[in-house]
Amino acid sequence: MSAPLPSKVSVHGVSMRFPTDGAPIEVLSSVDLSVADGEFVCILGPSGCGKSTLLNIVGGFLRASSGSVLIDGEPVEGPDPRRIFVFQERGVFPWLTVEGNVAFGLFRLSPEERARRIAHYVKLVGLSGFENAYPQELSGGMKQRLEVARALAVNPDVLFLDEPFGALDSITRLVMRSELLRIRRAEKKTILFVTHDIDESVQLADRVVVMSTRPATIRRIVDIDMPHPRDLSSPRYNELRDLLLGEIGLAHKI
Amino acid sequence: MPTKSDAERVLLPLATAAVAILVWALAVRLSQTSVFPSPWKVLLGLRELFGRGVLGPYIGDSLRRVASGYLLALVLGIPAGLALGWHPSLASAFNPVIQMARPISPLAWIPLAILWFGVSEAAPGFLIFLGSFFPIVVATMNGVKSVPSMYLLAGRNFGLSTPRLLARVVFPAALPQILVGLRIALGIAWIVVVAAEMMAVDSGLGYLIIDSRNAGKRYDLVVAGMLLIGIIGLALDTLAQRLERLPNVRWGFQQDTA
């Protein structure tokens, strides 16, 4: 990173405790993070470490026990159409067609603008010809594309993706990653992407935030200094991968 | 999913019906009963009813009563169920009352219905309303409660106000379960109309049955009326089931194959 970019998302001392019958469970412990405008940040950590909780706090779905989240300098008070959360492909609405799903967030626009956006985003995610199909007629990968299209159609500045490709098979997952990078070149967005997949984070991110086990803190932030398209067999790729493996605390051999 | 062949779908039920009619005919003949009618006598009875010109109006009256009570239950029951499913405090307040009122057979209300509405159209309408209201409310309430939170979060994320969220996310997400409730309620409404017509009015299929027995012990007409009730009930249920194939609810009735 050469010149310091203005901070799009900034997380200050965020902690999260969930009340239980006994002592409250601490899930996040004073997390500080700053994400630049247009940056692609992966939050990497073991399952159940609290990385999704962090994303839900930044997205406005959960309120932190302490600390604050600012986006464009304003505190996050709740969910906002300028920042869209993409779930696993189960988040698409099964009662709406592909077109209906993409149009879901466009109710404030004129019919002409709505039609233009639908056409544009259906095409961008490669679902042309499926405009009138219902989600149950689509494969898992297509449903995920649909959810991304629905999110992009409202032209948000920030996308939150919570293990979006976790339910897909490994080949579809690879395809979806390169699709996401292609879409990102077309529509520059700030992206926070939660994953427990080390390869995924090295393939996608500008920076990888490695979380510890619960209560999660940031162990380390690793710059992925490789230009796209990234060569998955290059020495640098393997170096970064091994570095992250080590940070997560896993052996390098199986 | 293996598709059943047409032969299996049509011929098997027909064969079962044929066997049942045969058993019925044999039972009447072997027992030499003079009271219970044979299938042939029932068929003649049906023709007699057609000839008298009462059948059409009677069927029409029964269907009209079901329609009025049922539609009222639908119009009041779905919003009530949405409200109860959406506001946990409302559900806490009303659910015990609903769960207590629900197992009371609508037929137990007949004396009160006659007391309040007299021998009039309103009495069967009220009973049908009672019979179908609770299944619709409960199915809608449960449907709303089981809407996946992910849909609600997504709806909120796109900036939907609560009324919009209810109309555009909660209602369509709960619709498959609501349809199940509507179908159950329609079946109950059709059962209740017959009983109500035996007590409170002097037309309709229920009245036909009780009148055929009271005026001359015409059991052929009683059984003919019963068969008609069964056939029309089946037709209503088939129509209600058809709704499950509408494209925007089909997802709720299929196993997810993706």
> From first to last of its 258 residues, what are the pLDDT tens digits of chain B?
456 677 788 889 899 999 999 999 999 999 988 889 999 999 999 999 888 888 999 999 999 999 999 999 999 999 999 999 999 999 999 999 999 998 999 989 988 998 999 888 899 999 999 999 999 999 999 999 999 999 999 999 999 999 999 999 999 999 999 999 999 999 999 999 999 998 878 899 999 999 999 888 899 999 999 999 999 999 999 999 999 999 899 999 875 444
Chain A nearest-CA residue for B168: A104
Give A80 to chain B, closest Cα distance, Å: 5
Contact B153 A61 (CB under 8 A): yes
pLDDT value at residue A88: 74
Query: What ipTM was estimated for this complex?
Result: 0.89
Task: Take residue A182 and report the two structure tokens written for it.
Answer: 């292609």
Contact B172 A81 (CB under 8 A): no
DSSP symbols for A19-84: --SSSPEEEEEEEEEEEETT-EEEEE--TTSSHHHHHHHHHTSS--SEEEEEETTEEP-S-BTTEE
Contact B159 A94 (CB under 8 A): no
Of B159, B172, B258, the CB nearest to A138: B258
Higher pLDDT, A47 or A80: A80
Of B148, B158, B254, the CB nearest to A154: B158
Interface test with B, best of A55, A83, A92, A136 (most B CBs within 10 A): A136
**Cβ-Cβ contacts under 8 Å, A90 against chain B:** 148, 150
| Rg (alpha carbons) of chain A, rounded to whole number | 18
pLDDT value at residue B2: 53
Contact B249 A93 (CB under 8 A): no
Chain A nearest-CA residue for B172: A95
- E strands, chain A, in order: 7-18, 25-36, 40-44, 66-71, 74-75, 83-86, 158-162, 190-195, 207-211, 218-223
Contact B172 A93 (CB under 8 A): yes
Chain B nearest-CA residue for A153: B158
pLDDT in tens, A124-139: 889 999 999 999 999 9
Q: Which long-range contacts (CB under 8 A, 24 or more apart) does A17-24 make?
A: A17/A65
The predicted model scores a pTM of 0.88
Interface test with A, best of B149, B150, B158 (most A CBs within 10 A): B158
Contact B251 A87 (CB under 8 A): no
- Taking the C-alpha atoms of residue B85 and residue B92, their distance in angstroms, rounded to an integer, is 10
Short-list B96, B83, B123, B89, CA closest to B107: B123
CA separation, residue A123 to residues A130, A140, A153, B35 (Å): 10, 18, 11, 74
Short-list B256, B257, B252, CA closest to B143: B252
pLDDT in tens, A93-151: 999 999 999 999 999 999 999 999 999 999 988 999 999 999 999 998 899 999 999 99
Contacts A–B by Cβ distance under 8 A: 63
Chain A nearest-CA residue for B174: A95
- Taking the C-alpha atoms of residue B247 and residue B93, their distance in angstroms, rounded to an integer, is 36
Q: Check residue A216 and report its DSSP letter.
A: B
